Amino acid sequence: MRNEEEEKVRQQIEGLLSNGLKTMLEPFPETHVEFAKLLDELRNLSPDDLEGKLVIGGFADQPYGPDQMRCLECMYYLVHRKWCDLPELAVPVEPDWYCRLWRI
């Protein structure tokens, strides 16, 4: 059951991103302070504000930047569940997606 629900949300995200939802890809949080500030912004969202998470998180439905960063190599990515385990996001994601909370 959980898988089906997560797949539904994954498709919803895919739809929003492929329809051109404008997300904040930049600036990338270079320091711990900037990273923490982004987490604070995410915590201020209502828990079901999926679009807000995507916008503030700076999501993309493809790898990003010269290093082609993507969820698959991010420390928060759970491969078998195809899930972002960063509590402030906690969303189903594809391995080839990206967001600016990316960490290795």
CA nearest neighbour of 55 among 16, 103, 81: 16
CA separation for the pair 103, 73 (Å, rounded): 8
Cβ proximity to ligand SF4, 56 vs 86, nearer residue: 86
CA atoms within 13 A on the CB side of 61: 13
| Contact present, 60 and 92 (Cβ < 8 Å) | no
Output the smallest distance, CB 72 to ligand SF4, in A. Answer: 8
Cβ proximity to ligand SF4, 8 vs 81, nearer residue: 81
| Contact present, 61 and 25 (Cβ < 8 Å) | no
Name the residues that contact ligand SF4, by CB under 6 A.
Answer: 71, 74, 76-77, 84, 86, 89, 93, 97-99, 101-102
Output the smallest distance, CB 65 to ligand SF4, in A. Answer: 12
Cβ proximity to ligand SF4, 56 vs 93, nearer residue: 93
Output the smallest distance, CB 19 to ligand SF4, in A. Answer: 19
